[in-house]
């Protein structure tokens, strides 16, 4: 399979399909005030990841089109891209996770896992290949420092960003 074929469906369409599947399989699970409150931090995190990455890509004047990752003109490594190499996709996954939490539906977690698996195997593999070819050693260093999705390195970046300032 060619890499172009692996990226034929936009990730936002995959996320929308996963969300529709969540609704279909958890139709009886209705959000409550408590579940909505529990999902709010995930929704806020999703919005920040997506928004920050989009703004930084636009400022760098590089493509946000996932269907042709070889068109990237700049390697964006700041902001949300310090937390994850794929902050837009992580944001979509966080929104799906928040939706499952809000609906109080363990079965609604399956589409989240499916979304992550589909993107990892197809879209992200194609992007990593294209970015490696385009940016070489710079991308290799970035890959070594920042996780594909999220791990303890991500938590360290977030902790450092919210560390209290000492006033003297």
Helix and strand totals (H; E) in the chain: 7, 0
pLDDT grade for 4, boundaries at 50, 70 and 90: very low
pLDDT in tens, 118-139: 999 999 999 999 999 999 999 9
Q: What is the pTM of this model?
A: 0.91
Domain annotation for the chain: domains and CATH numbers: 10-161 (1.20.120)
Residue with tokens 């970015």: 131
What's the rounded Cα separation, in Å, for the pair 25 and 94?
18
pLDDT in tens, 74-107: 999 999 999 999 999 999 999 999 999 999 999 9
pLDDT grade for 6, boundaries at 50, 70 and 90: low
pLDDT in tens, 20-76: 999 999 999 999 999 999 999 999 999 999 999 999 999 999 999 988 888 999 999
Nearest residue to 102 via CA among 36, 49, 48 = 36
Per-residue tokens: 70: 């070889």
């Amino acid at each position: 399979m060619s890499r172009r074929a692996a990226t034929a469906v936009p990730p936002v369409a995959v996320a929308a399909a996963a969300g529709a599947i969540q609704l279909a399989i958890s139709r009886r699970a209705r959000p409550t005030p408590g579940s909505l409150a529990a999902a709010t931090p995930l929704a806020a995190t999703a919005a920040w990841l997506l928004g920050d990455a989009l703004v930084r890509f636009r400022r760098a004047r590089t493509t946000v089109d996932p269907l042709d990752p070889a068109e990237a003109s700049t390697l964006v490594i700041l902001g949300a891209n310090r937390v994850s190499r794929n902050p837009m996709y992580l944001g979509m996954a966080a929104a799906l996770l928040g939706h499952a939490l809000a609906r109080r539906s363990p079965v609604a977690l399956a589409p989240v896992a499916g979304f992550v698996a589909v993107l990892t195997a197809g879209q992200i593999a194609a992007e990593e290949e294209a970015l490696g070819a385009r940016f070489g050693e710079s991308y290799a260093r970035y890959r070594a420092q920042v996780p594909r999705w999220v791990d303890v390195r991500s938590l360290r970046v977030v902790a450092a960003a919210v560390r209290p300032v000492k006033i003297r």
